[in-house]
Chains A and B, each alone.
Chain A
Amino acid sequence: MQTQLPTEQAPVLEIRGLTQRFGGLTAVNDFNVKLMPGELSGLIGPNGAGKTTVFNLVSGFYQPSEGRILIDGIATAGLKPHKVTALGVARTFQNIRLWNDMTVLDNIRVAQHYRLGYGLFHAIARSKRYRRREEEIARESAELLEVFDLQRYADDFPKNLAYGTQRKLEIARALSSHPRLLLLDEPAAGLNSSDIQELIRLVRWIHEKFDVTIWMIEHHMDVMMELCTRIKVIDFGQTIAEGNPETVRNHPAVITAYLGDDVI
């Protein structure tokens, strides 16, 4: 559990009574969470439990039917996704969504769109501000690629990269927007076991180096066990268990949700 007392610091993300209905289906029901700065926690649940819906709600992609989402104490209700990103939330996708026909470097650069600091007229006039900002963006992006050891792919197209590298690039792109909260949606999906080991190292390293709060969805329990200090389990949109990995693993409700409750 969290070492700092909650009163000392405001939560990076606070969700209160979040409910999302799609027609008659309640995808998420009365979901509550508080993520403290620097936390690395997880969200798990069987397929269709509503995990990705929670992420879509947090990143502003859906507007919640009920409940509040607060990023650093600021309510995100009614904000478009790009505004939410500007508040400091970045995410990756379950199925990688890179811009495949843009160079790796451009992928990183475009993710800084909200803090370009110049608009159309500066771009056309190539004003001083434009040149200064473009230089900074180029430098920062190159640095980011370098720390991710991706600099040799800078001019390649993401579609030509190995799957594991694409995952890494997507995380790098998310970090390029300087998030306070990083949402990873099944980062280990489709990776082989050696890639998964690398991913675990990567996430831990990001967590230390970038001073970012990480919340991840993952099906690979070993990844969650290694990384997360706290895991929340949901099923049919309901929170069924919460706690440290060990507690969650042995929680009867979790076992029932994953394996069914038939007595064998």
Chain B
Amino acid sequence: MLQRYSVHLTLGLVGGAIIYSAYQEYLSLYIMSVLMFMGVNVILSTSLNLVNGYMGEFSCGHAGFMCVGAYVSSLLGVWLFARDKVFGAPLLDPEYALYAFPLLIIAGGVAAALAGLLVAIPSYKTRGDYLAIITIAANYIIISTIENIGAIGGSRGFMGMKRLVNSMEDIADLPWMPIWVFAFTVFCVWLMRRYVSSTFGKGVTAICQDEVAAEIMSVNTNKIKTITFMLSSGMAGIGGGLFAYILGYVNPGSFNILKSTEVLVMVYLGGMGSLSGSVLSAILFTILLELLRPLQIIKWIVIPLLLIILMQFRPEGIMGNRELGDLFPRLKKYYRFK
């Protein structure tokens, strides 16, 4: 009983507490936004871990897919539900914004997953460093494309998503953004957990450890690679969509290689091939970034330094390639996350 429902219960309590305190405005807007970015970072780091940790490829263009998701869901949302100087009057009644919001985010995810093909197809033939270069190229292609489309603001960025968030709150006065971020974070981690723990998804790990053996032992490596890259970039797109709506503003500059690196750091901090490690490290890293904010630019000296120290003393990251349950077997009695 406890084992079966403890995860649901914990998630329900944590989510409920966050949303209730947002509703009652116990927490300042600043803390709320940090919590929401935490959720986005969890999505980003777990999804990148799928490729870098589980599959053993080195993708460093994750922010590019995030960008696709952010733009597609923002543009679609504003086009359909908000008055905007580019698109003019909304096509649909803003009343429906609330119900359509998850679909908008998922549409961003789907678009990002399709953009993931940009990396998935070359991955049939290349791997390692060469594929890493392709991922960087993909990141640049995406950013440059958007920078050069003047109609959607080009490098100045695109805004108007706040209106959509406001119209959601007009329909029902609830803190909708924290609710959606929390829901999508749980959804993404849950989905990836199910994927990698199935025999089907274990093919990913098999490719990582010996691609030749995987191919010979009947794993359809191209199919698995396509699915994994698309899933990973799709999740990044979902993260990007949420990111755009939290900020209410997107510009291509915020999805450059620096952002990709930030996600990479989270993955390596948490441990390759450990979803719980990625969740943990995304939370810690977000807090760390905020704690070090007073240092301003020096922050970017301290954080890489911390990373070097970590790599020196614990190169496998916080969790290595193990999950929470492997590290503390006794915990397994109390929860089951599937």
> How many residues belonging to A are interface residues under a CB distance threshold of 8 Å?
37
Q: Is the CB of A99 within 8 A of B213?
A: yes
Max chain A Cβ within 10 angstroms of own Cβ: one of B200, B203, B338: B200
Q: Is the CB of B200 within 8 A of A119?
A: yes
Q: Is the CB of A111 within 8 A of B200?
A: no
Chain A residues with CB under 8 Å of B221's CB are 82
Q: Which of A1-9, A68-76, A101-109, A212-220 is near enough to bind chain B? A: A101-109
Q: Is the CB of B218 within 8 A of A177?
A: yes
Chain B residues with CB under 8 Å of A98's CB are 210, 213
Specify the chain B residue showing the minimal Cβ separation from A183: B216
Q: How far is the CA of A120 from the CA of B198 in the complex (A)?
A: 9
Contact bitstring B203-231, A, C-beta under 8 A = 1, else 0: 10110011011111111111000010001
B76-111 CB contacts (< 8 Å) to partner A? none
Contact bitstring B250-272, A, C-beta under 8 A = 1, else 0: 00000000000000000000000
Specify the chain A residue showing the minimal Cβ separation from B338: A126
> How many residues belonging to B are interface residues under a CB distance threshold of 8 Å?
28
User: With contacts A61-B216, A97-B213 known, is A110 near B203, CB below 8 A?
Assistant: yes
Chain B residues with CB under 8 Å of A112's CB are 199, 218
Chain B residues with CB under 8 Å of A119's CB are 200
Q: Is the CB of A124 within 8 A of B202?
A: no
B interface residues, Cβ below 8 angstroms from A? 191, 194-195, 198-203, 205-206, 209-210, 212-222, 227, 231, 321, 338
30 A-B pairs with C-beta separation under 8 A: A81-B216, A82-B217, A82-B220, A85-B218, A93-B213, A99-B213, A99-B214, A101-B205, A102-B202, A106-B205, A109-B202, A110-B202, A110-B203, A110-B217, A110-B219, A113-B199, A113-B220, A116-B199, A118-B200, A120-B195, A123-B194, A123-B195, A124-B195, A126-B194, A130-B198, A134-B198, A134-B199, A137-B199, A173-B217, A174-B217
A interface residues, Cβ below 8 angstroms from B? 59, 61, 80-82, 85-86, 90-91, 93, 97-102, 106, 109-116, 118-120, 123-124, 126, 130, 134, 137, 173-174, 177
